[in-house]
């Protein structure tokens, strides 16, 4: 069992090292940080969405913007699209493909930002959310695990984090990226938290 545990951790380490050594990956995180900073500077809201574990990551991201990441500071406007009453209503009335796009259409405004998480980059409901955001003049930041995905084509900025054959390693990289994005926003608006 110990060997399996070590193999799993080494696989995770390898995915992180591959991401870290890819300059384009780092530049995409920098570009995503700049897009989020611009949204906050312009008093826009940050929306996030994903399915399954990616929904959990989208929620984690939003609550650390509205609440706290490391140190106390003012809240930052962020909303994860995870309301079960909205999701069940839209899924029942329109189909699951529209659970995120209907929320974006209802609440999103020009100058807001959508952080869309899809390890495959092909989830139809995430693609529809990105399309709805673009139609409203929102910025779309995509986090994917496959280069050249349909979601990448819709995004203003795409952070592609390949992690192997399965979604778990991609999701591990995504949460690291999301934490870095929060830190970069904080460093811009709350530099005293990093002295």
pLDDT in tens, 135-174: 999 999 999 999 999 999 999 999 999 987 789 999 999 9
Tell me the per-residue pLDDT of 67-110, one tens digit each, with 9 for 90 and over: 999 999 999 999 999 999 999 999 999 999 999 999 999 999 99
pLDDT for 165: 78
pLDDT reported for residue 174: 98
Domain 2-194 part of CATH 3.40.50.10490: yes
Q: Is the pLDDT of residue 182 over 90?
A: yes
DSSP, residue by residue, 5-68: HHHHHHHHHHHHHHHHT-HHHHHHHHHHHHHHHHHHHTT--EEEE-STHHHHHHHHHHHHHHS-
CB pairs under 8 A, 24+ apart, for 4-10?
A: none
State mean pLDDT over 3-14: 95
Q: Supply the pLDDT for residue 73.
A: 97
- Looking at residue 166, what is its pLDDT? 82
pTM for this predicted structure: 0.96
Q: Average pLDDT, whole number, for the chain?
A: 97
């Amino acid at each position: 069992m110990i060997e399996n545990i070590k193999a799993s951790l080494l696989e995770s380490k390898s995915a992180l090292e591959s991401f870290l050594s890819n300059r384009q990956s780092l530049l995409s995180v920098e570009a995503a940080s700049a897009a989020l900073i611009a949204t906050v500077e312009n008093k826009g809201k940050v929306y996030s969405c994903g399915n399954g574990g990616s929904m959990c990551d989208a929620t984690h991201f939003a609550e650390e913007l509205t609440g706290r990441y490391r140190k106390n500071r003012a809240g930052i406007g962020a909303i994860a699209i995870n309301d079960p009453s909205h999701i069940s209503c839209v899924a029942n009335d329109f189909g699951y493909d529209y659970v995120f796009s209907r929320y974006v259409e209802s609440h999103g405004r020009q100058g807001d930002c959508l952080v869309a998480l899809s390890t495959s980059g092909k989830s139809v409901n995430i693609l529809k959310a990105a399309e709805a955001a673009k139609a409203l003049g929102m910025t779309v930041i995509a986090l994917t695990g496959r280069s050249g995905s349909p979601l990448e084509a819709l995004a203003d900025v795409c952070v592609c984090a390949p992690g192997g054959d399965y979604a778990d390693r991609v999701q591990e990289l995504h949460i690291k990226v999301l934490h870095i994005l929060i830190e970069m926003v904080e460093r811009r608006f709350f530099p005293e938290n990093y002295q």
